[in-house]
Copies of this chain bind each other. A is one copy, B any other.
Amino acid sequence: MATPQIKTILYSYWRSSCSWRVRIALNLKEIPYEIKPVSLIKAGGEQHSNEYRELNPMEQVPALHIDAVTLVESLNIMQYLEETRLHRPLLPSDVVKRAKMREICEVIACGVQPLQNLSVLIHVGEEKKDEWAKHWINRWFRAVEKLLGSCAGKYCVGDEITLADCCLIPQVFNARRFHVDLRPFPIILRIDRELERHPAFLAAHPSNQPDCPPEAHK
């Protein structure tokens, strides 16, 4: 399936948690890729340009150009990588464990993240956005912590890194950005600590992106 002569390009924004999920998956699977930064804030947002809209009609990052096709939506992209690249499986082989993994992915990707997406926060308004984001992250993290209680091992689902971990870690970073008190979520915190020094996660971290502004470096 892999055609090495076609370059894999990830359209990414350093702080976008959906881009970050895909960066982790690409790194874990050791797929070489080039990053094309799309600034979500410069000139009202480069994701709204005519050129980028042709790549991603949702006017969001990420988009991945791979195998001569452009794919959008982060869970979909990661699933495609899994189905076309056998190296380092990111889905459990057991069908029920796979479902438990997808529950966590979906709670994060369809539950919490859409509500603290940049375009939604702009719509909510400057003065209310922090309270709004905090409210929803807290609500959904309670559910994630509960789900993890029955399936987590060293990582979200057992002792192997899966797509659920690719979704969780960027969301924990977001929770910290909005000053969510994470102490009520001990399993989430433990998994976050477990993965913070992992090379694939570290290389995907916002502060290690080419478009990370100097003042944001840790």
Where the two chains meet, the residues of A that have a C-beta atom closer than 8 Å to any C-beta of B are 1, 57-59, 67, 69, 71-73, 75-77, 79-80, 83-84, 95-96, 98-99, 102-103, 105-107, 109-111, 113-115, 120, 123, 132, 135, 140, 142-143, 146-147
Contact = CB atoms under 8 A, between A and B. Distances in A.
B123 A114 contact: no
A110 B140 CA distance: 14
Indicate how many identical chains form the complex.
2
Contacts of A77: 99
A137 to B, nearest CB: 13
A105 B113 CA distance: 16
A58 B120 contact: no
Contacts of A102: 73, 75-76, 79-80
Given A110-B110, A115-B114, A71 B99 contact: yes
Contacts of A147: 57
Contact of A58 (B58, B84, B107): B107
Contacts of A84: 95
A98 to B, nearest CB: 7
**Chain A interface mostly:** helix
Contacts of A71: 99, 103
Contacts of A135: 123
A107 B59 CA distance: 11
A76 B106 contact: yes
B57 A79 contact: no
Nearest to A112: B114
A99 B143 contact: no
A186 to B, nearest CB: 16
Nearest to A1: B95
